[in-house]
């Protein structure tokens, strides 16, 4: 611990001459700094939606009319929602295949393969990929995706008429605003997970059958059905509902596979009998699969691999497997699967050619079969392995598909060029028109192979160009926002160094005061001019308003930094004069800090890391204490046991199981911890290792029976946990008397700590007991034990800091004692921050995050178990229930901050200075999470990446509010100083 300040010691006498006006100026500046931090983090938090979540949809392109005759007059699309490929193709336990009709189609009439879905494997994005040919805008995760957040083109739009029947969550998305459609969906109440949902599939078929039957009595409907370019869409939800409710290996789900196969057979027979022209193409597929747990959304093969069977007009017949008809080896599908993956032997289809596709490829396949233009936003590749066309028509189909993607690229290029002052085109497509002419020339001379190769290469380049313009502003935005965060952190460091350390500012202020004023004015002038110029350029480029905000805030922060040029110059000179060992200490501290912060970043996805953390910390801290103080003090053993006890909780499941006996036992444990702290406070007055944290004046115990009352309330809350839960379980209601008692205990107990003694240990024990009844009444399982375990570790932290304080006093010579006294130069007898004090905000952040992850994940729905509030309210009241759940989650945070505040008083360092260091460290994590935001993957993965970034960004407000709230309890805490005297100054 010694006497090394962050940058050494200044002239104490001159520092003590600072006026009260300086203090008022500092308070005003820090209020402004906090406001700036809140605004900055709010604005930069929005940047991820400009960088990562821009819609891929563009408007204003003309459809490309194909130059070939339609192979089919109509198309039937059957989508079995939630059907896994393996459960469809593999046989059952008796060796019989579950889809005999479609299997006969594969062997005798049509083509087959696996359709690879891209995460998020959900119903809406899956259907958008199949019917519209593009992958759902990831920003839909922020908008809700049952309603259509954007207007887009689809195969249905390009049809003459579309008939659709199925789920109310899917059919209306595509048909509700489509004038040339006839559709119907069943009520939401039909989707009952308690039943066999295969009747939903039968409902869709019955609707279609009724439609055809009605046409015999309705000439207009008959005429409509006999037109060409007709689409019939049946959405079969049964497998999805049964998979969720009963799991995909259940007999109900597997029987549903037989149901959809039977429906496919009935639809085929019905259509062929009705039209009698063999001009119908049929496509059977699924939007996503189903995991063994009965869920979907991620990129696991059970979710991304779906069956695809195509037959009818315009479709090739089965083709035997041979070495010459393999697909492109080495190319990966959107779900990261390789081409030419071997077909499982149990499927029994190894002898037939398998043509796998990306899910978005189905849209151009349907458009080609109907001879209609592809959806204008489609990015799918036409799978030629399915289409039975002449070589000339195949080339024309591929060319139409290529032109449609090229049109998207040209439209995006035109929009960006019209808005950019320094437009950078996509060079590989600079001469696209000559390539199109080359393709036309090759077609005219009937060199179809060469024309096909050039067309497919042109389409690949167009897709690359689309991605280029989709990410055109990424580098600029990420650079601006990253520089903004770095500027904010540098500015925080300068503020802490200038106002909370013993840096000798006077060494350069006297000689350069006049130059400083002149220089600062010039820097501000240049900074504001730069902001004006950049905002003008952005305005001329028609950039969104937030682009102006990102740029202005970043330039403003760096203007503030450069205005401190003389301070930075003096800081550099001081570091150059510092001793070599001090530079090593500084670099080591930075390295350890970054390591801890990276550890915290990784803990957001792997909470079990905290188990290893506390196992190691328990050993290291105990060994250090064993070597420093006698083991008979009990402190080393206590620290070890407390850390190891807390390490258990991050191994437990995030979904907290109900266990009322554990909650009741936790009440007893909390009382015992309180009694132990009380005994320690009253009977270890002569123990030099505990001295600073004990009550320093026995006469100030205004309410000597307060502890007994608080312990009684904890016991009473445990009793009410038992009574309220047992009665509600038996009678299915909460007695008004129980409800009144529970509310009274929770409210009264949290007021009592305000009347406790002001000694550090006394007050913290009272706070611990004061929040315990409320936490117990809101607990349903092991989180109640976690509350006690967290308190023990916080106590261990306090004892560790108190031991370090005592050791520093013992080791101090008379000369260094004078230096120590000289360092007490801030308000409230606080000393200046030292390099070693960085441990305080770092330990705080670890414990703060343990409170975050100790019983789950603050950002996870598992942490919001609604049964937690049933002892206070059972009638549905969303706002009150949400407030109770959030307050329950806040209690461990408040306990951590109370101890943090107490420790800053114990070792006499400025709490606000430590707060700024906490925000500094939080922003190191924020930058990391900024680069970890995902716009691909499951909704859960995308949502978690956004929430992790948002939660860490919001800590500037979150921690400040909790500081203000806990300050009510901790502001009058008093400690015994190790210093012989304390002297106030600036």
Q: What pLDDT does 699 receive?
A: 44
In terms of average pLDDT, the best of 75-84, 287-296, 604-613, 869-878 is: 75-84
Q: What pLDDT does 87 receive?
A: 94
Residue 471 has pLDDT above 90, yes or no: no
How many Cβ atoms are within 10 Å of 848's Cβ, its own excluded? Answer: 22
Separation between Cα atoms, residue 377 and residue 155, nearest integer Å? 11
Tokens found for residue 650: 């991050």
Instruction: Assign 282 to helix, strand or coil.
Output: strand
Q: What pLDDT does 819 receive?
A: 46
Residue 876 has pLDDT above 80, yes or no: no
Residue 431 has pLDDT above 70, yes or no: yes
Q: What pLDDT does 705 receive?
A: 84
Over range 733-739, report the average pLDDT: 74
806 contact partners, CB below 8 Å, separation of at least 6: 629, 688, 689, 691, 692, 978
pLDDT per position as a tens digit, 635-650: 888 899 999 999 988 8
Q: What pLDDT does 15 receive?
A: 45
Residue 2 banded pLDDT, cuts 50, 70, 90: very low
Over range 599-613, report the average pLDDT: 89
Q: Strand pairing partners for 230?
A: 74, 161
Whether the full predicted model's pTM is greater than 0.95, yes or no, is no
Question: How would DSSP label each residue in 622-668?
Answer: HHHHHHHS-GGGSHHHHHHHHHHHHHTGGGS-SSPPP-HHHHHHHHH
Residue 125 has pLDDT above 60, yes or no: yes
Using the structure block, give the residue that is written with the tokens 């206070």. Answer: 872
| Cβ atoms of residues 863 and 855 within 8 Å | yes
Burial class (CB in 10 A: 0-12, 13-18, 19+), 869: buried
Residue 397 has pLDDT above 60, yes or no: yes
User: What sign for the dihedral angle of Cα 59, 61, 63, 64?
Assistant: negative
Give the DSSP H or E segment for 498: helix 474-500
Tokens found for residue 147: 């309603």
CA angle 761, 762, 767 (to 5 degrees): 95
Q: What pLDDT does 504 receive?
A: 53
How many Cβ atoms are within 10 Å of 985's Cβ, its own excluded? Answer: 15
CA-based nearest residue to 502, from 109, 929, 864, 835: 835
| Cβ atoms of residues 949 and 48 within 8 Å | yes
Residue 858 has pLDDT above 70, yes or no: no
Segment among 274-283, 324-333, 489-498, 922-931 with least mean pLDDT: 324-333
Separation between Cα atoms, residue 918 and residue 898, nearest integer Å? 15
Residues recorded for the chain: 986
pLDDT per position as a tens digit, 210-267: 999 999 899 999 999 999 999 999 999 999 988 887 889 999 999 999 999 999 999 9
Separation between Cα atoms, residue 850 and residue 844, nearest integer Å? 10
β-sheet with 305-312: strand ranges across: 181-185, 161-166, 230-236, 74-80, 280-285, 305-312, 111-116, 357-358
Residue 863 banded pLDDT, cuts 50, 70, 90: very low
Buried b (16+ CB within 10 A) or exposed e, 469-502: beebbeeebeebbbbbbbbbbbbbbbbbbebbbb
Q: Strand pairing partners for 29?
A: none
User: What sign for the dihedral angle of Cα 117, 122, 125, 127?
Assistant: positive
Residue 386 has pLDDT above 90, yes or no: yes
What Rg do the C-alpha atoms of the chain give, in angstroms?
A: 35
Q: What pLDDT does 499 receive?
A: 82
Give Cα separations from 624 to 621, 639, 640, 688, 690 (angstroms).
5, 11, 11, 18, 17
Q: What pLDDT does 953 receive?
A: 87
pLDDT per position as a tens digit, 433-450: 999 999 999 999 999 999
Segment among 20-29, 272-281, 390-399, 495-504 with least mean pLDDT: 20-29
pLDDT per position as a tens digit, 877-905: 667 777 887 788 888 999 999 999 989 88
- The average confidence (pLDDT) of the chain is 83
Give phi and psi for 113, each to the nearest 5: 180, -170
Residue 148 banded pLDDT, cuts 50, 70, 90: low
Comparison of pLDDT for 212 and 939, the residue scoring more: 212
Give percent of the chain above pLDDT 90. Answer: 40
Q: What pLDDT does 583 receive?
A: 86
Instruction: Assign 802 to helix, strand or coil.
Output: helix
Residue 502 has pLDDT above 60, yes or no: yes
Q: What pLDDT does 612 receive?
A: 92
Separation between Cα atoms, residue 233 and residue 204, nearest integer Å? 9
User: What sign for the dihedral angle of Cα 854, 857, 861, 864?
Assistant: positive
Residue 510 has pLDDT above 60, yes or no: no
Separation between Cα atoms, residue 113 and residue 111, nearest integer Å? 7
pLDDT per position as a tens digit, 788-831: 999 999 999 988 888 888 777 666 543 444 444 434 445 556 67
Over range 195-218, report the average pLDDT: 92
Question: How would DSSP label each residue in 877-941?
Answer: -HHHHHHHHHHHHHHHHHHHHHHHHHHHHHTT--HHHHHHHHHHHHHHHHHHHHHH--SSS-HHH
Segment among 242-256, 304-318, 362-376, 930-944 with least mean pLDDT: 930-944
Separation between Cα atoms, residue 310 and residue 317, nearest integer Å? 10
| Cβ atoms of residues 761 and 693 within 8 Å | yes
Tokens found for residue 227: 């037109």
pLDDT per position as a tens digit, 341-374: 788 999 989 889 999 999 999 999 999 999 999 9
Q: What pLDDT does 568 receive?
A: 82
Give percent of the chain above pLDDT 70. Answer: 84
Burial class (CB in 10 A: 0-12, 13-18, 19+), 463: middle
Q: Strand pairing partners for 309?
A: 112, 284
Q: What pLDDT does 8 receive?
A: 43
CATH of domain 81-138+153-322+347-388: 3.40.720.10
pLDDT per position as a tens digit, 651-709: 887 667 677 788 888 889 999 999 888 887 776 655 556 655 555 444 455 677 888 89
| Cβ atoms of residues 213 and 175 within 8 Å | no
Separation between Cα atoms, residue 837 and residue 804, nearest integer Å? 11
Give Cα separations from 32 to 27, 493, 975 (angstroms).
9, 16, 31
pLDDT per position as a tens digit, 72-121: 999 999 999 999 999 999 998 888 999 999 999 999 999 999 999 988 88
Over range 940-969, report the average pLDDT: 83
How many Cβ atoms are within 10 Å of 980's Cβ, its own excluded? Answer: 9
pLDDT per position as a tens digit, 158-182: 999 999 999 988 999 888 888 999 9
Instruction: Assign 858 to helix, strand or coil.
Output: coil
Q: What pLDDT does 516 receive?
A: 59
Instruction: Assign 184 to helix, strand or coil.
Output: strand
């Amino acid at each position: 611990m010694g006497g090394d300040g962050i940058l050494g010691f200044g002239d104490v006498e001159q520092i003590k001459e600072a006026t009260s006006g300086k203090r008022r100026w500092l308070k005003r500046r820090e209020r402004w700094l906090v406001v700036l931090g809140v605004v900055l983090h709010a604005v930069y938090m929005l940047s991820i939606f400009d960088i990562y979540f821009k819609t891929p949809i563009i408007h204003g392109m003309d459809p490309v009319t194909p130059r070939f005759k339609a192979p089919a007059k109509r198309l039937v699309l059957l989508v079995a929602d939630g059907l896994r490929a393996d459960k469809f193709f593999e046989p059952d336990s008796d060796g019989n295949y579950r889809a005999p009709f479609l299997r006969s189609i594969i062997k005798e009439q049509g083509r087959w393969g696996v359709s690879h879905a891209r995460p998020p494997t959900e119903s809406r994005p899956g259907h958008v990929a199949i019917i519209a040919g593009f992958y759902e805008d990831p920003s839909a995760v922020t908008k809700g995706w049952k309603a259509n957040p954007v207007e887009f083109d689809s195969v249905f739009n390009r049809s003459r008429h579309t008939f659709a029947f199925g789920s109310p969550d899917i059919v209306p998305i595509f048909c509700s605003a489509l004038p040339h459609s006839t559709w119907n969906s069943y009520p939401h109440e039909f989707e009952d997970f308690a039943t066999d949902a295969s009747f939903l599939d039968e409902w869709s078929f019955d609707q279609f059958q009724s439609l055809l039957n009605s046409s015999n009595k309705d000439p207009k409907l008959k005429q409509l059905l006999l037109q060409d370019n007709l689409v019939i869409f049946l959405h079969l939800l049964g497998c999805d509902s049964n998979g969720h409710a009963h799991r995909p290996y259940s007999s109900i789900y597997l029987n549903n596979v037989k149901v959809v196969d039977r429906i496919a057979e009935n639809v085929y027979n019905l259509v062929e009998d009705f039209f009698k022209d063999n001009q119908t193409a049929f496509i059977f597929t699924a939007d996503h699969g189903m995991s063994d747990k009965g869920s979907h959304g991620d990129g696991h093969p059970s979710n991304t691999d779906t069956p695809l069977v195509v037959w009818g007009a315009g479709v090739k017949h089965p083709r035997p497997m041979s070495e010459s008809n393999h697909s492109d080896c080495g190319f990966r599908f959107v779900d990261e699967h390789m081409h030419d993956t071997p077909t499982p032997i149990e499927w029994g289809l190894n002898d037939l050619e398998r043509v796998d596709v990306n899910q978005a490829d189905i849209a151009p396949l349907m458009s080609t079969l109907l001879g209609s233009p592809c959806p204008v936003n489609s990015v799918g590749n036409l799978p030629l392995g399915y289409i039975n066309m002449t070589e000339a028509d195949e080339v024309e189909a591929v060319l139409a598909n290529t032109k449609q993607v090229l049109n998207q690229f040209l439209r995006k290029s035109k929009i960006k060029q019209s808005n950019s002052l320094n437009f950078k085109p996509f060079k590989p497509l600079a001469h696209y028109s000559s390539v199109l002419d080359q393709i036309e020339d090759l077609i005219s001379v009937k060199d179809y192979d060469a024309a096909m190769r050039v067309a497919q290469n042109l389409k690949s380049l167009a897709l690359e160009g689309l991605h280029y313009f989709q990410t055109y502003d990424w580098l600029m935005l990420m650079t601006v926002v990253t520089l903004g965060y770095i500027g904010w952190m540098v500015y925080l460091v300068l503020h802490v160094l200038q106002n909370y350390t013993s840096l000798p500012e006077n060494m350069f202020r006297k000689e350069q005061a006049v130059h400083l004023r002149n220089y600062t004015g010039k820097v501000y002038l240049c900074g504001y001019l730069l902001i004006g110029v950049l905002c003008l350029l952005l305005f001329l480029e028609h950039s969104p308003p937030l682009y102006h905000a990102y740029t202005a805030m970043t330039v403003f922060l760096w203007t503030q930094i450069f205005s401190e040029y003389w301070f930075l110059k003096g800081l550099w000179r001081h570091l150059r004069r510092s001793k070599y060992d001090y530079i090593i200490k500084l670099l080591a501290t930075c390295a350890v800090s970054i390591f801890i912060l990276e550890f915290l970043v990784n803990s957001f996805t792997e909470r079990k890391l905290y188990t290893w953390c506390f196992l190691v910390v328990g050993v290291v801290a105990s060994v250090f204490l064993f070597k420093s103080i006698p083991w008979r003090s009990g402190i080393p053993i206590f620290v070890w046991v407390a850390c190891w006890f807390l390490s258990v909780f991050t191994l437990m499941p995030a979904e907290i199981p109900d266990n009322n006996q554990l909650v009741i036992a936790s009440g007893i444990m909390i009382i015992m911890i309180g009694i132990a702290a009380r005994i320690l406070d009253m009977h270890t007055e002569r123990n030099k290792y505990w001295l600073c944290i004990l009550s320093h004046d026995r006469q100030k115990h205004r309410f000597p029976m307060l502890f007994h009352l608080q312990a009684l309330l904890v016991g009473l809350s445990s009793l009410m946990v038992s009574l309220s839960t047992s009665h509600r379980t038996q009678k299915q209601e909460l007695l008004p008397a129980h409800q009144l008692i529970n509310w009274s205990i929770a409210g009264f107990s949290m007021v009592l700590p305000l009347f406790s003694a002001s000694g550090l240990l006394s007050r913290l024990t009272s706070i611990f007991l004061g929040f315990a009844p409320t936490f117990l009444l809101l607990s349903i399982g092991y989180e109640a034990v976690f509350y006690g375990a967290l308190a023990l570790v916080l106590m261990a932290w306090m004892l560790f800091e108190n031991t370090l304080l005592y050791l520093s006093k013992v080791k101090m010579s008379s000369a260094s004692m004078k230096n120590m006294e000289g360092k007490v130069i801030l308000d409230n007898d606080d000393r200046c921050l030292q390099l070693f004090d960085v441990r305080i905000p770092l330990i705080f952040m670890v414990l703060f995050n343990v409170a975050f992850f100790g019983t789950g994940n603050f950002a996870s729905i598992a942490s919001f178990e609604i049964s937690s509030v049933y002892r206070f309210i059972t009638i549905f009241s969303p706002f009150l229930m949400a407030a109770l759940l959030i307050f329950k989650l806040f209690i461990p945070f408040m306990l951590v901050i109370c101890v943090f505040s107490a420790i800053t008083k114990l070792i006499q360092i400025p709490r606000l200075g430590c707060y700024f260091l906490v925000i500094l460290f939080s922003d190191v994590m924020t930058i990391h999470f900024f680069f970890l935001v995902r716009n691909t993957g499951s909704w859960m993965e995308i949502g978690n990446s956004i929430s992790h970034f948002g939660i860490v960004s919001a800590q500037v407000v979150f921690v400040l509010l909790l500081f203000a709230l806990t300050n009510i309890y901790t502001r009058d805490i008093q400690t015994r100083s190790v210093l012989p005297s304390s002297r106030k100054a600036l």
